[in-house]
A and B are shown apart, each in its own frame.
Chain A
Amino acid sequence: MLAFIIRRVLQSVVVLLVVGLVAFSLFRFVGDPVDNLLGQERTIEDIDRVRSELGLDQPFPVQYFRFLQGVAQGNFGVSFRQGRPVADILAERAPATLELAAVSALFAIVLGITLGVYTAIRRDGWLSNFIMTSSLIGVSLPTFLIGILLIYVFAVELGWLPSFGRGETVRIGWWTTGLLTESGLKAIILPAITLGLYQMTLIMRLVRAEMLEVLRSDYVKFARARGLNQRSVYFRHALKNTLVPVITITGLQLGSIIAFAIITETVFQWPGVGLLFINSIQFVDIPVMASYLMLISVMFVVINLIVDLLYFAIDPRLSASRGGGH
């Protein structure tokens, strides 16, 4: 187990280094930050001076090495756009993204599993058919369109929910939360649905398919034959055995929820790291872009590691092979 973790961590470091290298090799194509830093009345001389001050005249491996040197000392650099330390900016923005991701993941998992189980048990009911059909919308519509639709219906026409922003936030230490105020809770509903809808339908369809599979298996038939009540058969025996693939997918999806929050955050002006990243691309704010990409890679790597570890906890076959038992 320990060896496994160590091996995975070492692999992760390599992944991170490669991500950084690729990112830095691409930054040259994103554009030139200097024009954004200098006003209309700049001269070519100013441009060259600023470029060399920022180290942009160096080849990208050198820029990358300097960035790594900083990171090794806990210094992520200073944002070109805001002139503030990137670490501070990321720390300010991260709670918004993490809260949004957590709420939408919760929404996706709870609703996805519930509906998945329901549609598997009542596979021919009209409600099940309705749910399955409408879930196609969730899979096929692009996120920004769903977001705009929700804004139009619930903010502009009905006026129930805010169309943008995070509402009022409460500061707890360095963390800001919008989950403790009324306006904050209202503000998170639409973005969380927008972000989680795709994942929700995915989980629902996965659970349904797995459930249908398991319900056909021998041990469920035996369980029924033994006269166990339906509830116990469905939830104790069947559902538990469908969860391994669901956890894998959910885990990986959690990573993409955070990464793809970019679009949702842009549509709802949600002040998270995704919006920050979009801004930094427009401004060619290399320190912010690099740090964000590194942060997201770390997150993916950690989530994958946790998913792998969860297998041990959930799949009885894996723990049985290690000589354990229930």
Chain B
Amino acid sequence: MKKLSFLLAATIAAGVGTAQAETFKWAAQTDPQTMDPHAVNSAPVLGFLNNVYEGLVRRGKDMTIEPALAESWEPLGGDGWRFNLRRDVTFHDGAAFTAEDVLFSYERASSEAADTASWFAPVSEVTVVDDFTIDFMTTAPNPIFPDSIANFMIMDRGWAEANGVELPAKDAENFATLNANGTATFRLAERQPGLMTVLEPFEGWWGEVEHNITRAEFTPVQNSATAVAALLSGEVDMINPVPVQDAGRVAERDGVGVITGIEARVIMFGFAHQADTIKYADDAGQPNPFRDVRVRQAVAHAINVDAILQTIMRGAAEPASQLVSPAMRGYTPALAERPAYDPDAARALLAEAGYPDGFSFGLKCPNDRYLNDESVCQAAVSMLAQIGLRAELDAMPVRTYWPELREDNFDMYLLGWSPGTFDAEHPVRFLAATPDEEKRLGSWNFGDFSNPRVDELLPMIQSEIDDAARQAMLDEVAQILQDEQAYVPLYVQPLIWGVRDGVELTQRPDNFFILRWVTINE
């Protein structure tokens, strides 16, 4: 018994010790699959590595671009951008940061083996002017180039060469898969893929420290119920995400709370614009009604987005009228209204289009890609049924969903889009431009929407330096997409994080979790 109580005392002492040391533990559903910032262009990897590596520029709490490793930057006429680099920056291993490292990182991140090469498609040449000045020359004027490289992270040339990781590894393990050497607030202290990743503050960071963490432990917890239990039992300080259906329960509980915001991702329905016939359900083989804009408008009027948000999203999301959310650069405020829920108008449009009795078709939907995606589709199916559109729902895991869409196996489908550049031009390029493999356009435009004016405006938008002129063109595109009902935007997906009381943090719409904004108040 004496021994036991001694053990107990030791445990309590150890427990108190950790609390004072401000160890921060958090859990998310996905483990970043690599520590290499150029190997995989995905939100879990880039979001995590933003704590370890830094770019020339970075995004602030409100997503605006602010200086990071570059102190300032200016356009070189229309030919490119000059970045003036910060002095006295060191990497975690002590090496000094210079323009050479930026050039090296550019070569690495734009190589064939890198997954980030598309960021540099407009770049023609990169020139080191001096140790702390570097020029990125572009093939055409590119006003949003600094915005588009906010996640381009800088790696030390010497470190990479010493460890043989001059190129990211695609199909083999290399040193950079498990190790990291950045310039950011935290350095990688321990990496056990799929189990735990530990970060510790980097003493030599150039910036002003806002956080009070001495150690941060990340654990991937796949099962959301387990993650909620871990938060409720105090084993972790923060989880991302909290399932929508658990958010109320977590919010009510003492000692924990939820932080809700909206993500940059817009959820929408897309159509087969070019297919000659319906492919699924009873009317398979009949002419494709979705080619008629009135039918697409009828769909937009038939879906009660508010009801979906109240019941399925429990009020956490916001309706969307465009392919980007209002928080994005280039959003068109004049078109903020989405088509009203109006089944009568929808029926009238259908009758006008020659389908007074409606028709049947196939609706494809993922069931593990977006928050409650399958439920949203089920709700839409019953709403469409009220105007006589009989949708046959086929929901599937995302790993089979994209191949199906690429094979054009749909009549109507669900899609979510989060613009990587946080700019309205991004979805135009990927979702609205006529697919063109050569020009890397329309690669997610599965329904082959095509509008000559949109195709004409896109390159002009991309190279317009004047903000007002650019916005006017973006507004025009938004107007066309709304008039044509190219897509039916539904809502902006919510972000729901669970946080222990006493922890202060910032939730950014890109769902990146930035540790340097975390403070723990005991």
Contacts and interface: CB of A to CB of B under 8 A. Distances in A.
A85 B233 contact: no
A247 interface: no
Nearest to B403: A32
A201 to B, nearest CB: 24
Contact of B233 (A33, A84, A159): A159
Contact of B229 (A45, A78, A84, A152): A152
Nearest to B225: A148
A146 to B, nearest CB: 13
Given A83-B171, A84-B193, A271-B194, A38 B233 contact: no
Interface string B169-213: 111111001100000000000001111000000000000000000
Given A31-B400, A151-B226, A284-B399, A41 B173 contact: no
A282 interface: yes
Interface in A143-202: 148, 151-152, 155-156, 159, 162-166, 182
B399 A269 contact: no
Contacts of A39: 40-42, 115-116, 118
Given A44-B406, A151-B229, A162 B171 contact: no
A283 interface: yes
Contact of A156 (B221, B233, B420): B233
Contact of A268 (B171, B174, B193, B226): B226
Given A82-B193, A271-B195, A163 B233 contact: yes
B437 A43 contact: yes
A110 B239 CA distance: 38
Given A44-B437, A156-B233, A82 B226 contact: no
B20 interface: no
Interface string B401-441: 01100100000000000101000000000100000010010
Interface residues on B, range: 35 or more
B214 to A, nearest CB: 19
A210 B399 CA distance: 49
A267 B226 CA distance: 6
A18 interface: no
B402 A32 contact: yes
A78 B124 CA distance: 34
Contacts of A98: none
Interface residues on A, range: 35 or more
Contacts, number: 141
Given A148-B225, A152-B229, A163-B235, A269 B171 contact: no
A304 interface: no
Interface string A258-296: 000000001111010001101100111000000000000
Contact of A83 (B34, B227, B398, B443): B34
A84 B226 contact: no
Contacts of A37: 40, 115
B33 interface: yes
Contacts of A32: 399-400, 402-403
B235 A82 contact: no
Contacts of B226: 151, 163-164, 267-269
A213 interface: no
Contacts of A163: 226, 229-230, 233, 235
B234 interface: yes
Nearest to A287: B171
Interface in B136-191: 169-174, 177-178
A92 B192 CA distance: 9
Contacts of B230: 155, 163-164
A262 to B, nearest CB: 12
A17 interface: no
B11 interface: yes
A41 B33 contact: no
A40 B173 contact: no
A53 B169 CA distance: 13
A36 interface: yes
Nearest to B417: A40
Contact of A165 (B42, B169, B219, B440): B219
Residue among A35, A53, A283 with the most chain B CB within 10 A?
A35
Contacts of B229: 148, 151-152, 155-156, 163-164
Contact of B440 (A43, A47, A50, A276): A43
B177 A82 contact: yes
Contacts of A82: 33-34, 173, 177, 193-194
Contacts of A78: 171-173
Contacts of A269: 219-223, 226
Interface in B93-125: 115-116, 118-119
A164 B11 contact: no
Contacts of B118: 39, 41-43
A156 B232 contact: yes
Nearest to B196: A165
Residue among A84, A164, A267 with the most chain B CB within 10 A?
A164
A237 interface: no
A141 interface: no
A41 B7 CA distance: 55
A81 interface: yes
Contacts of A88: 173
Given A164-B235, A279-B194, A44 B399 contact: no
Contact of B420 (A41, A89, A166): A41
B502 interface: no
B247 to A, nearest CB: 16
B115 A84 contact: no
A71 interface: no
A40 B429 CA distance: 12
B356 interface: no
Contacts of A33: 399
Contacts of A278: 222
B454 to A, nearest CB: 19
Interface string B433-459: 000010010011000000000000000
B354 interface: no
Interface of A: 29-33, 35-45, 47, 50, 53-54, 78, 81-85, 88-89, 92-93, 148, 151-152, 155-156, 159, 162-166, 182, 266-269, 271, 275-276, 278-279, 282-284
Given A30-B399, A84-B193, A267-B223, 18 more contacts: A31-B403, A39-B40, A39-B116, A40-B418, A41-B443, A44-B437, A45-B437, A78-B173, A82-B34, A83-B33, A83-B173, A83-B174, A84-B177, A156-B232, A163-B230, A269-B219, A269-B223, A279-B194
30 contacts: A30-B399, A36-B399, A38-B41, A39-B40, A40-B418, A40-B444, A41-B430, A41-B443, A43-B437, A44-B406, A81-B33, A83-B33, A83-B174, A83-B177, A88-B173, A89-B193, A93-B194, A155-B233, A159-B234, A164-B230, A164-B235, A165-B219, A182-B7, A268-B226, A269-B219, A269-B220, A269-B226, A276-B194, A282-B368, A282-B399
- Give 6 closest A-B pairs by Cβ, nearest first: A31-B399, A39-B41, A41-B118, A84-B173, A31-B400, A163-B229
